[in-house]
């Protein structure tokens, strides 16, 4: 009898444990996690952070939630993580490819941004360590308070972008540059030893878009479009390069071929591109 009673107690305890385990309540995080990624040139840049809200509190001040002249994790919960797939220059300081804990020290006149080699999300682990790079930024002002902290990228170009942090009445702008031109040119020189038609097109497109040697661009694009298997977007690029070289009569003839190929492929956007280009070049001196 005692043994049966003991077994029943064990079963009851196990049942209660199972019920309690299944009844765990999940609630939204007060500062939800966020990730923002941007490709700049050939480099992928990722920011991983938690987004605190103002919630009626004073944020940046001497006695605010984020006090002046004290190191801050640049977000909530854990250290903000900055990752770049290639070398970058941020605020004039070079960062090699890798991941970094991004801490800041707010101030009224000038903020300091610290980049530490990333070890963990425990931001306090970095406070007594020397950063690999320190950037000074003069904070800007938001015209309207931003309720929830936000990172985003602006003014994205082939070789540069601006990383923006908005929260409360503060806006931080971090200028980032990458050595896109050097990497692309090295890639072009390497691939040209045995390039495909796609490689020739990419090289010609880069030369054209960046105002480089148009004769070289023309040489490349003709290799991309030779033969019977012509692509309408590649033939259009050839017409654009011909026009840039002042060969407008030839550019018009090439654009007509590109337009026919685009029409056959059902791409009416490119049909219009070529039709507009033909009209424009027809008015120019041949």
Instruction: Point out the domain boundary residue: 128, 144, 177.
Output: 177
Percent of the chain clearing pLDDT 90 (strictly above)? 61
Full domain range(s) for residue 83: 33-177
Same domain? For 149 and 223 the reply is no
In a domain, 21, yes or no: no
Same domain? For 44 and 158 the reply is yes
Same domain? For 132 and 95 the reply is yes
Q: What is the mean pLDDT of residues 207-224?
A: 94
242, 254 Cβ separation under 8 angstroms: yes
Selection from 112, 89, 129, 102 nearest residue 48 by Cα: 102
Q: What is the mean pLDDT of residues 258-264?
A: 93
In a domain, 6, yes or no: no
The predicted-structure confidence for 34-82, as pLDDT tens digits, reads as follows 999 999 988 899 999 999 899 989 989 888 899 998 999 998 888 999 9
Structural domain count, the chain: 2
Would you say the pTM of this structure is higher than 0.75?
no
Instruction: Point out the domain boundary residue: 177, 212, 247.
Output: 177
Selection from 23, 111, 129 nearest residue 72 by Cα: 111
In a domain, 143, yes or no: yes
171, 156 Cβ separation under 8 angstroms: no
Interacting residues of 54 by C-beta distance below 8 A, sequence separation 6+:
145, 146, 147, 148, 167, 168
Indicate if the pLDDT at residue 108 is higher than 70.
yes
CATH of the domain at 262: 1.25.40.10
In a domain, 54, yes or no: yes
| CA dist 284 → 179, 241, 276 (Å) | 37, 15, 13
Q: What is the mean pLDDT of residues 97-123?
A: 91
Same domain? For 38 and 160 the reply is yes
Selection from 158, 174, 168, 155 nearest residue 113 by Cα: 174
- Output the pLDDT for position 12: 54
Selection from 210, 35, 207, 1 nearest residue 221 by Cα: 207
Q: What 3-state DSSP class applies to 121?
A: coil
In a domain, 138, yes or no: yes
In a domain, 18, yes or no: no
**Looking at per-residue confidence, does 235 or 27 come out higher?**
235
Same domain? For 172 and 80 the reply is yes
Q: What is the mean pLDDT of residues 227-242?
A: 94
Same domain? For 141 and 226 the reply is no
């Amino acid at each position: 009898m005692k043994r049966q009673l003991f077994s029943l107690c064990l079963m009851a305890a196990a049942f209660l444990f199972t019920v309690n385990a299944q009844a765990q309540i999940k609630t939204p995080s007060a500062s939800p996690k966020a990730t923002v990624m941007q490709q700049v040139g050939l480099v992928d840049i990722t920011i991983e952070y938690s987004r605190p809200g103002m919630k009626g509190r004073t944020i940046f001040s001497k006695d605010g939630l984020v006090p002046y002249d004290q190191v801050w994790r640049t977000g909530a919960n854990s250290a903000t993580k900055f990752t770049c797939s290639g070398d970058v220059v941020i605020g004039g300081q070079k960062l090699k490819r890798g991941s970094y804990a991004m801490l800041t020290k707010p101030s009224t006149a000038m903020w300091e941004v610290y980049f530490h080699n990333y070890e963990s999300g425990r931001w306090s682990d970095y406070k007594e360590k020397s950063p690999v790079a320190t950037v000074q930024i003069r904070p800007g002002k938001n015209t309207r308070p931003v309720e929830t902290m936000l990172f985003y990228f602006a003014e994205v170009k082939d070789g540069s972008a601006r990383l923006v942090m908005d929260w409360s009445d503060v806006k931080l702008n971090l200028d980032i540059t990458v050595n896109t031109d050097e990497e692309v040119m090295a890639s072009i020189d390497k691939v040209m030893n045995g390039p495909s038609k796609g490689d020739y097109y990419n090289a010609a497109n880069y030369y054209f878009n960046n105002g480089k040697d148009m004769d070289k661009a023309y040489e490349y694009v003709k290799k991309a479009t030779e033969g019977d298997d012509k692509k309408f977007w590649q033939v259009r690029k050839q017409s654009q390069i011909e026009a840039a070289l002042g060969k407008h009569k030839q550019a018009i003839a090439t654009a007509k071929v590109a337009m026919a190929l685009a029409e056959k492929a059902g791409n009416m956007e490119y049909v219009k591109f070529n039709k507009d280009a033909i009209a424009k070049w027809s008015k120019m001196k041949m």
